Amino acid sequence: MAKKIFSGNEDINKTAFLNWRTEKHENIGNMIALAEGFLSSAIELAKDCINNNSDKKADMLIFPILTNANHGIELYLKSLIWTLNKLTNSKFKIEGSHNIQQMFQTVRAKIKNYKDDEWLKHFDEQNIDLAEYIDELFSLIFGDGEKDNMDFSRYPITNKYENHFYVDSLDNVKIDLENFVERFEQIMEVLDERTSYFFYEELKGEW
């Protein structure tokens, strides 16, 4: 019988622990931990492709790179929404499905409601890279007016069995990996800082 996947290695540095960054009663904190993991993995995979892409592995890995990047953003935004809902005594927890454009606007509205226009202005200034990325992404993936096609990097087709934008394109659809790393390192730094601030400082008072 093969060694179980969910088992440790004798060398602790060759073992991954699923529960070292999560805690039983820290729902939002656990979301933040996973958000960091997904966005970090996207950046690290992109860096690995930059370091050596002689076998053109980037053309395969770009799909999990984008999936992890977008899911990381989603988790950060949902963590922010949940935190701001607690801070405003809302009956809601997480709002939104997978549409990061809608979630980003929800976060903006909740920050303005919880704080004021100056706080929102500061948040917008910090998140220019994120806002520009979301606008660029949705200009490509928004479908028939009802579906945002956020699954474009997980499947080559929509749930209507239509090809996603890159499959039918006559021109090459390209991503500059160096630019991706630079932009997403900045996006992650700001999202992590803002999410951690509202959760640990405003909500828990631990800073």
**In the numeric block, which tokens belong to residue 138?**
């949705």
Q: Which residues of the chain have pLDDT under 70?
A: 143-146, 206-207
pLDDT of residue 148: 80
CA-wise closest residue to 155 among 167, 168, 142: 167
User: What is the C-alpha to C-alpha distance for residues 130 and 206, in angstroms, rounded to an integer?
Assistant: 27
Provide the β-strand partners of residue 163: 157
**In the numeric block, which tokens belong to residue 79?**
């963590």
Question: Looking at the domain assignment, is residue 5 inside a domain?
Answer: no
Question: Looking at the domain assignment, is residue 126 inside a domain?
Answer: yes
pLDDT of residue 145: 55
Question: Looking at the domain assignment, is residue 150 inside a domain?
Answer: yes
Question: Looking at the domain assignment, is residue 9 inside a domain?
Answer: no
Question: Looking at the domain assignment, is residue 4 inside a domain?
Answer: no
| Residue range of the domain that includes 145 | 27-203
Question: Looking at the domain assignment, is residue 7 inside a domain?
Answer: no
Question: Looking at the domain assignment, is residue 41 inside a domain?
Answer: yes
Q: Total structural domains in the chain?
A: 1
pTM for this model (two decimals) = 0.95
Q: What are phi and psi of 42, to 5 degrees?
A: -65, -45
pLDDT of residue 206: 63
